Structure 1
């Protein structure tokens, strides 16, 4: 009995530490949208330029994921997390002192690098340490990521209102990095999680299924990044206050948290994830159609549908990738490839939507495009038959 407790306590502490770390992976981006009108009032920013505050961190995440696992192998899991959290914290707190668009964008890029190093490490760590409950643990991890976004989106306008400074509304989230650093450090004094091994040096560039998984993840994440960047500004343009628009985005991310918890648990009953994926994509399509056709009526319903769909799609995209390979090292390499390519694809979406807004004067065209993308993703999802996974990566387990 004592031996069981000795092994379960480190595992529980590790999972809690992972969740606290994950809280830091979105506030640097999620806090921008609700404060954008105030930022643009102080620093000259077109919508296209403002999109870089979301686009560049996501692109940095994609690029860094290609070498993130190698970095974690050289530095070790402990140092990688500490360094990454430090980068995120410093980039976030530096926003107290920004005076130009270039400085603001640079802080976003630095935060993106720190985020990417953690995101490259965590799926591999979860796959190796919690191999019997990968879907549930991945759901908790991704839910914590979205929880951080919900907190930042909801409270950044409140912080700005209390302090009279949008800079404070962006910078206060460095406190989350400090808490995660302290908790992670304390956890290492008495316990040590297994080191995540580097993946085999096998390139996934020649595997068509790896590319299909990457495109699927990238298109799904594009809907998330566009909503994160533009939902609050969209409703501010409709006459809402920054506070109410931020709370609406916070409500959407709260629905993401709920779906991120529930969906993987439901999907865990079967290895065939296709029905769950199709339902999630249909929810997102319905949400975008509602934003276009009736944004002011049932204004809570559309973010609810979007949040439930996006919140479940994000972890399920990673879970489907992990399903393809049983070997944790190979699965880690595949998820790193999928996220790397996927984030490069998703990173372009806020810029494209911002350019559409600058030229057309509204976001409706962007929402229509994303609705079409979700329809395309349904066709891709139908191809993820688990009985065919073994033939997609021959010789790999």
Structure 2
């Protein structure tokens, strides 16, 4: 590999990382600002949850229509459009001092994120081949790190700039990431606008993934993992404020959680190739997530930093690995991208219900213990699915997929 090619590859990795860093701050900053949003925008708990639920729901819808988005926009241009939409959505929050403006910006934020997340995994597999798992883990690390930065700086920025400017300020890094992307991706391999190859629809766009049980298992797995991520990001800080801790300490706990998530995801990106069989990592992550949520129920104030660290390590493994395992199942970049879009589409829709349920329960019971328990039970239940995700099962899945594409699903 020539020095020029290495530099171009590194620049492209930087662009992917910068884009991923911008996929969560506009959502993650909501939790630490809940008091100001409630006071000045007159938004109750369920409304606060909608500011998280709406973008996640948009991500799900965007993933479902990933093949159409790819053909309409192309991968390179579509990803740039997604970055621009995020920037516009954040900027409009300068004037979003009421619930309607906040909800409208949440829709746009979700749309921009949805476009990028629908297109980037397939682009990564197309350009990085055997290194796809590591690059996907780096991409996931950026998502988690962006959440850490967004949540960790929100309270401090609010004190300096006010809550509206804090939310709007994320337009600047979104613009920067989009510019870097356009420069770095000029010579990359990508599916262009309306340039699907012959048979491309058959290779992904029209495949009835829903007819294969493994697709639903992976969809549910991704939904639970992402739901845990979104729930912690949206409600850990308000939960501890409700227990009597100061806004600063509650924000610090959220920062610890997201920083641990980011460091764990970074570790995963560096070591993922040592674990061709992902099941040990998956089961470990699920047990840690369940333990963290249970600690929030039985002893939230005894060792709060330990509790959020358990969640951080668990989610830091589970969130990126749920994407990686889906991508592991297929080799063709277009088909793998569309399959991952199916998994993420349904998974994000499931995940969008988690913070909404949390807000509803909080309004009714003034307590989040019920949602912590629900997520702990769900995480333990996912262990039953995780033990089945062996490397050998990928081949059986590909056989099932070939038969579905031929119109006959293997019943054995």
**2:373 aligned residue:** 368
Q: Using the alignment, how far apart are the partners of 1:287 and 1:303 within structure 2?
A: 6
Structure 2 gaps of 5+ residues are 403-412
Give the alignment's Cα RMSD to 1 decimal.
Answer: 1.6
Name the SS of the counterpart of 1:376 in structure 2. helix
Q: Distance in 2 between matches of 1:14 and 1:265?
A: 18
Specify the alignment match of 1:112 in structure 2: 110
For residues 252-278 of structure 1, give each alpha carbon's deviation from its aligned partner in whole angstroms, at most 9, with x where no partner exists: 111111111113444422321111101
Measure the CA separation in 2 of the matches of 1:240 and 1:172: 27
Residue 184 of structure 2 corresponds to residue 187 of structure 1 = yes
User: 1:70: how far off?
Assistant: 2.5
2:174 aligned residue: 177
- What do residues 32-69 of structure 1 show as CA deviations (whole Å, max 9, x unaligned)? 00000111011222211211000010001100112234
SS in 2 for 1:326: coil
User: Given that residues 212 and 400 in structure 2 are in contact (C-alpha distance below 8 angstroms), is that contact kept between their aligned partners in structure 1?
Assistant: no
| C-alpha distance after superposition, 1:199-258 (max 9, x if no partner) | 533221211111110011001111111111111110111122323322221221111111
**Residues 147-226 of structure 1 aligned to structure 2 (within 5 Å):** 147-163=145-161, 165-188=162-185, 191-196=186-191, 199-200=203-204, 201-226=206-231
Contact 2:93 2:102 in 1 (8 A): yes
Which residue of the partner structure matches residue 304 of structure 1?
309
Q: Secondary structure at the match of 2:274?
A: coil
> Residue 358 of structure 1: CA displacement?
1.2
Deviation string for 1:311-338 (max 9, x for gaps)? 1111111111111112222211110100
Deviates more, 1:258-267 or 1:143-152: 258-267
2:329 equivalent among 324, 331, 355: 324
Query: How far apart are the structure 1 equivalents of 2:91 and 2:243?
Result: 31
In structure 2, which of residues 292, 295, 303 is the aligned counterpart of residue 287 of structure 1? 292
Q: 1:356 to 1:156 in 2, by over 3 A?
A: same
**1:396 Cα deviation from its structure 2 partner:** 5.2
Secondary structure (helix, strand or coil) at the match of 1:79 reads helix
Count of residues paired in the alignment: 392
- Structure 1 distance, partners of 2:35, 2:290, is 27
Normalised by the size of structure 2, how large is the TM-score?
0.92
- Return 5+ residue gaps in structure 1 as ranges: none
**In the superposition, relative to structure 1, how do residues 194 and 96 fare at CA in structure 2: closer, same or farther (>3 Å)?**
same
2:301 is paired with a residue whose SS is coil
**Residue range with higher mean Cα deviation, 263-272 or 211-220:** 263-272
CA contact (8 A) 1:34 1:243 kept: no
- Displaced runs of 4+ in structure 1, greater than 4 A? none
**TM-score (normalised: structure 1):** 0.95
